[in-house]
Amino acid sequence: GSWGNGNRWDNRSDNRWKNDDYGKKEDWSVPLQKNEKLEYELFGSCNTGINFDKYEDIPVEATGEDLPKCCESFNECQLGEILRNNLVLCNYTKPTPVQKWAIPIVMNNRDLMACAQTGSGKTAAFLVPILNALYEQGPIDMPSRTYGRRKQYPLALVLAPTRELVSQIYDESRKFAYRSHIRPCVVYGGTDIGAQLRDLDRGCHLLVATPGRLVDMMERGRIGLDCCKFLVLDEADRMLDMGFEPQIRRIVQKDSMPPAGCRETLMFSATFPREIQLLAKDFLHNYIFLAVGRVGSTSENITQKVVWVEECEKRSYLLDLINFASPDSLTLVFVETKKGADSLEEYLVVEGYPATSIHGDRSQREREEALRAFRNGEKPILVATAVAARGLDIPNVRHVINFDLPSDIEEYVHRIGRTGRVGNLGLATSFFNEKNKNVVRDLLELLDEAKQEIPAWLESIAYDSRPQGGIRRGATTLGRK
């Protein structure tokens, strides 16, 4: 039957569902009535003051057959009424470069492989055209239900590596799904599965998930991918780094998901190593390749400083930097270990600074609580390990401090990418000493390329550490954790 709407059990849009099973197909493209309370909850704190013009200079290169024309404005994209309204509520005035290309590509039913950094507006770049397509196509007939527990058949699936990132994509999707028939859901590990199952039971058209938890749900017979017309892999490189490839292949290739060519697939990745190229070959069909900015480069909105700080002096140097910052600006401090995160947070709190921390051993609730306190400025200093680094969208981090420099340059790129987001200006300061010599050449190359000032002492260390007989290429892959 057509029970698949799932909406009648929904309080997310608080509408009185009429039972529409009498052969008449509901029109999903017409906005439902307003809900002031929900509207305030969703859009109350939307990004203000994003410098969209800053984006204009980001170079975008598209390659592939029959490229669709990119759209310079949201009007040109020919979106339906629901999305036009919600974009206004979100204060999105004009599309960022990745959105200008991705929206028409998806609307032309093409697959996409995009190399884009976080902070380029990529979440909206895939959610907007996918939701637009779902509103236009309206409800579809779901597979007939076998007796027993309800199974949900999402129409679109977004996979992402961490619980923070899926939660964030889910929050965005709720904004774009406001006043629509579409019910987004989110599932991730590290938290009680019961609550997530109950939420799924109330209907799920768009599912945002981490790979491990999704496999679990599929094996329990609670999610079927038979009707999944859109598949998005966000931060694909990060998912592979975290060892999720078997789960991703299990979800995409070994279940009931329509094959490549019968669904639309979008992959986003900050880097484009060989493993990602192979995944693209297997998952995408006649795709368009989009390079946004220099692939893997660091944003020129970020001022990068490297300072020599002995291990024993790091804490007092950190306090100097924090005291120097304006009180309302957010500071993100990266350390290498969980223990280091705990002890640094404790030190800052004892010294009277409003700090909090996140790392992999924290429970889901603790992580969300810490992020909330950081985001709203209650605790404007966040100490974090690399686990927390990828994919977090914290709107206005003014200063990223590498208290401990990572041993691999890609990790450095991702960390400093937390500042200077979406056209804002940012500052990244890295503490460097004896222990960090292994990363010096890559660091130098990166600073040079981003037109940053390079301290003379750093150049001489790099010069001294030259291997005999030419430059060691491929240094970026050394010291991979």
d(C-alpha 406, C-alpha 237), whole Å: 18
Mean pLDDT of the chain: 84
d(C-alpha 227, C-alpha 206), whole Å: 11
Q: What does the pLDDT read at residue 298? A: 60
Q: Does 370 map to a domain?
A: yes
Among 73-77, 81-85, 240-244, 471-475, which is the least confidently predicted range? 471-475
Asked if 197 and 275 sit in the same domain, the reply is yes
Which of 76, 75, 58, 186 has its CA nearest to residue 122?
58
Q: How many domains does the chain have?
A: 2
Domain that holds residue 165: 36-139+151-292
Q: Does 288 map to a domain?
A: yes
Q: What does the pLDDT read at residue 469? A: 46
Angstrom distances, CA of residue 480 to CA of 391, 405, 406, 476: 19, 13, 10, 8
User: Of 41-45, 131-135, 410-414, which one has max mean pLDDT?
Assistant: 131-135
Asked if 309 and 283 sit in the same domain, the reply is no
- pLDDT > 70? residue 336: yes
Task: Report, as an integer, the average pLDDT of 473-479.
Answer: 39
420: how many CB neighbours lie within 10 A of its CB? Answer: 24
For residue 45, what pLDDT band results from cuts at 50, 70 and 90? low
Yes or no: say if 307 and 431 are a contact pair by the CB < 8 Å rule.
yes
d(C-alpha 298, C-alpha 447), whole Å: 9
Task: Report, as an integer, the average pLDDT of 289-316.
Answer: 82
d(C-alpha 44, C-alpha 198), whole Å: 27
Asked if 321 and 359 sit in the same domain, the reply is yes
Tens-digit pLDDT profile for residues 212-222: 999 999 999 99
Q: What percent of the chain has pLDDT over 90?
A: 56
For residue 391, what pLDDT band results from cuts at 50, 70 and 90? low
Residue bearing tokens 């490839």: 245
- pLDDT > 80? residue 414: no
Angstrom distances, CA of residue 279 to CA of 77, 102, 122, 127, 276: 29, 19, 20, 22, 5
Task: Report, as an integer, the average pLDDT of 173-183.
Answer: 96
Q: Does 6 map to a domain?
A: no
For residue 248, what pLDDT band results from cuts at 50, 70 and 90? very high
Q: Does 156 map to a domain?
A: yes
Q: Does 440 map to a domain?
A: yes
